[in-house]
Every structure is written in C-alpha cells, then in structure tokens.
Amino acid sequence: MGSTVAARFAARILVGFALFGLVSAGAEAASKSKGGGYAPPYSELVVDARTGKILRAVNADQPRHPASITKVMTLYLLFEQLEAGKMSLSTPIRISEWAARQSPSKLGMAPGETITVEDAIKALITRSANDIAVAVAEAVGGSEKDFADMMTQKARSIGMKRTVYANASGLPNPRQVTTARDLIVLGRSIQNRFPRYFQYFSMRSFDYDGATIANHNKLLGRVDGVDGIKTGYTARSGFNLLTSVHSDGRSLLAVILGGRSGNSRDRRMAELVDAYIDVASNGDTKAPVKTAKAISTLPTPVDVERPSSDNEDAAESPTASLSPQVQPVAKTTEPQSKLVWKPGAAPAPAPKAMSYAETQNSAARSPSNGTEKSWWIQVGVATDEKKAKSLINDLSGQMSSILGDAKPSIEKVQVKGKPMWRTRFTRMSLDDAQTACALVKKQGGACFASRS
C-alpha cells in the first residue's frame, strides 16, 4: 500500500513538471547505469565577489589539479609585464624547441616563429595553447621552471595558501596542486588588478592564421552575466571551470573542479549561477557582515568512460560526453568563512580546513543549522505566471507535510530580455528545505536551497 502511494505521488510530481516545462537535468537519473565510472575528485565553491561571502562550498580546501586554469596565473604574470611597461601588446614572443614540443592543445607553431603578446593572450584564453604558455613563461621568466617558481611566489603574495605550480600550462604534473578556495582568490585578484586586460577572458573566438578558434568556455553568451574566466581539463583533474558573473549590480565567482564531462560541468555551473546570483550583494558593502553556511549535495559517480588523453581541445569539443553531472545523494556541511577583498593587499589567509566529523559536531551544536526558518528553495522557472501558480499550488498540496507554513513566492524576472517567473518557498528551516529539494530533484525537478 505504502509503495503504491509513493509511486502515485512520484508520478504526480513528474507529470506536474512535464506540464509546466520545468523538467531539469535531474530527470536524466533514469538513464544512469550502476557503477562508479569516471569520477575525478570533486570540489565546488561559490562566492559573492563583492563581499567575499561564501555562498556554497564543497571540498573547498582539498588539493586538486588545476589543469589549464593554471594559465590564469601565467596570464597574471604576463599582465604584470604589460602594466610595468616591460612588454607591449605588440611585443614578439619567440617559440622555442621546448615550447613547440608541448602536447595539445596547442597552436602548433614551429621553433623560431614568433607571436605577439596580444595574440598569445588570446591563444591562451581560447585554444588554451600549451606551446604558447611555455613561450610566455620563457619570455618572462627565462625558463619554464623559473617561471613556475615565480607563479608559486605570486600565489603566496595574493593569498593562495595551498597552491604550488610546476609548469605554465597545466599539463599533468603531480606536484602542481591548488584548491577551489585558492582559485577563487586568483580569479578575484586578476579581475580586480587588471580590469583592462581581464576583458580578454570574455572572448568567444579568436581569428588566427586564417582560422577561427572557439573559446572552450561555452557558457559565454549562453548564461546571463557570465563574462569569463577559464576552463581546464586533464584526465586526472577532470573537467574544471572558473567562472565570473556580473548581473544587475551583483557579482559572483564560482569554480568547479573534477567534473565528469565538459557538458555536465557546464550544466552544473549554470545551475549554480542561477541559484546564487540573486543571493549576492548589490550594494557598496565593504565587507561581509555575516558568513553563510552552505549545505551541498554531492555528485553521484556515473558511467563515463575514462578519457584516453589530456588534450583539452578534444575533450572540450561539442562531441564530449553528455552524461549527467549531479544527482543529490548526500549532505555535507563545510566550514564557512569570508574571503576579504582588500584593494592593493593580499586577501585574508584561508582558515584551517575542518574534518567532516568536526563540522558535523559544530552543526549539531548550532540550532540555527536545522530549525531556524531563514531558508528558501527555488523549485522552477516558468514561462508565464499561470504555470508558476499551478506549480506552486501542486507542490503546496503534494508536499504539505514538508512545507508546513512555508510561504510560496512568485517573482517576475527578465532572462535574456524575456519575462520569466521564479517559483519559490520561503521561511523554511534548513532541514525542511533539504528534504523538499531532495524530493523534488529525485522526481526530475529543479530545486535549490539557500539562506536568506
């Protein structure tokens, strides 16, 4: 009897989402096969770029391989040369034999050829060219090894406490490690210090030598507000993405490390942007007043074939795997702090990472983690107000025991110039928000939880 009622309840939710055009990637769960599949270590972090307030964190301080996000630091040091007047955008950079021997992705230039600094910048951002990364390293640091030491020193000076660089490209090297937190610090620092040059990260393509090279970052022009910054991939790191977002006076920095495919990573990042852009500050706040505690869902490993090479150009192609990225199965609480943006100074040091057991004990001591009704969930975005109201009414009836006295909310917003209606329930406890979202997602719907 109980199973029949549960099945009927699940079917009603699925039908509701299908009718309202709100079925999300979670519906792909039915196509998953059992088994771990390709599952590189995973991290994600979302930060209010204006205040440094952490909005969401999963494994933010665990060591990860940056892959081609490494090139953001390579560009940082190149931008310093431009700022100091030691180079100009037209300065030629020579390709050495060592640079020409780098593995793809690359421009494929021959030893002795030259490329201007400006074209080198564009090649690093769009093609993620490893040969050009080495050429830049040699031009600035004399050798790639010495340049890597400069990169690590710069990382320390701007507040990246757990990052070590061993090369300029991000090609596999076991010594080259970073964290999600450190990459957020890097993203904010390069954006804040070099606004003139940061605009290059928004390039969608680059015309060079008779060919048009598309940017690996496919969120540009497809997700409102995204204006950079860099993808990364090796077989060991998984699919990485550092993202900058500016929309209606609000600003986010977000990073995903260890995605299982380019497409699934991009879908996840789009979800994070949609979930948290409205939470970000839109004032002139100098520093966060309080911290945020994010309860995160972890990706379930899916059967994706392990990549056979470290070629980012091939891995980020349109034919990359379309397998689903996430299906919520577990909750983790992360130690939350603020990242303090101080113009002209290094960001505040990251706190010591806490163990999972420590964070659980801390959560148990804080009643606001589970019972304080300061949370809201977003259950969908409808194309008209009538559909939004229908969804609210359906879920209010179907999940009344969970929603309790939660307040339904419908908000009209503009998405790419078109009106849309966001459907939310507010004034919820954390426990109820988690339970409701898990149920909605389990049945193929879209749901995000956040603290007011």
**Residue 389 sits in a domain of what CATH number?**
3.30.70.1070
This prediction has a pTM of 0.63
Q: What angle do CA 433, 434, 439 make, to 5 degrees?
A: 100
User: How many domains are there within the chain?
Assistant: 2
Taken in order 377, 380, 383, 384, is the CA torsion positive or negative? negative
* Cα–Cα distance for residue pair 163/182, rounded to 1 Å: 7
In a shared domain, residues 90 and 145: yes
Same domain, 119 and 201: yes
Pair 110, 141 in one domain: yes
pLDDT tens for the chain, 452 residues long, are: 444 434 443 443 443 443 333 333 332 232 233 234 778 999 999 999 999 999 999 999 999 999 999 999 999 999 999 999 999 999 999 999 999 999 999 999 999 999 999 999 999 999 999 999 999 999 999 999 999 999 999 999 999 999 999 999 999 999 999 999 999 999 999 999 999 999 999 999 999 989 999 999 999 999 999 999 999 999 999 999 999 999 989 999 999 999 999 999 999 999 999 999 999 998 654 433 333 333 345 444 444 555 555 566 555 654 343 233 333 333 343 545 666 553 433 333 333 333 323 323 333 333 334 456 888 888 888 888 988 898 888 888 778 778 888 999 998 887 777 888 889 999 988 878 878 887 787 666 778 777 76
How far, in Å, CA of 79 to CA of 197, rounded?
7
- Give the pLDDT score at 304: 53
Domain of residue 128, residue span: 43-362
Please give the Cα distance from 444 to 434 (Å, whole number): 15
Residue 106 covered by a domain: yes
The answer to whether the CB of 296 falls within 8 A of the CB of 46 is no
C-beta of residue 56 within 8 angstroms of C-beta of residue 44: yes
Task: Note whether 220 and 257 are same-domain residues.
Answer: yes
Confidence at residue 400, expressed as pLDDT on a 0 to 100 scale:
78
Structure tokens at 131: 């040969």
**167 and 202 share a domain?**
yes
* 275-300 b/e (C-beta count within 10 Å ≥ 16 → b): bbbbbbbeeeeeebeeebbbbbbbbb
Query: Do residues 377 and 314 share a domain?
Result: no
Q: Which residues of 83-119 are buried (b: 16+ CB within 10 A; e: fewer)?
A: eeeebeeebebebbeebbebebbbbebeeebebebeb
Residue 208 sits in the same domain as residue 156: yes
In a domain, 442, yes or no: yes
Is residue 37 in a domain? no
Among the candidates 362, 385, 417, a domain finishes at 362
The CA-based dihedral angle spanning residues 191, 196, 198, 202, taken in that order and rounded to the nearest 10 degrees:
130
- Tell me if 38 is assigned to some domain: no
CB 91 within 8 A of CB 140: no
Q: Which of 362, 387, 412 is the last residue of a domain?
A: 362
